[in-house]
Amino acid sequence: MSEYDNSNRGAIWTNDKKATDKHPDFTGSLNVEGKEYWVSAWRGDGSNPKAPKLSFSVNAKDAMPAKASKPTPTLEDDLGLDTPF
């Protein structure tokens, strides 16, 4: 068996890029039925015994917005023409 099957599995690691308290303590990825997701997790502060030890946020990887590219300028744009000939 040359390749490991990661279907329906995931993992999180300590977030080394955490700069503020709002950033997640852990980040990682998750596969559910062949679809990939980003996972973010925050450690509970322990002040409320009924609160979870970790809270999660899961977002589909393909739902991340793509960077908008600038439209290619046309000759009309370059010449300042607003009516075609």
Residue boundaries of the structural domains of the chain: 10-79
The alpha carbon torsion through 65, 22, 45, 29 (nearest 10 deg) reads: 30
Answer whether 0.75 is exceeded by the pTM: no
Average pLDDT, whole number, for the chain?
80
Per-residue pLDDT at 60: 92
* pLDDT band per the 50, 70, 90 thresholds, residue 41: very high
* pLDDT at residue 59 greater than cutoff 80: yes
The CB-side HSE value for 77 (13 A sphere, CA atoms) comes to 4
* pLDDT band per the 50, 70, 90 thresholds, residue 80: low
* pLDDT band per the 50, 70, 90 thresholds, residue 73: low
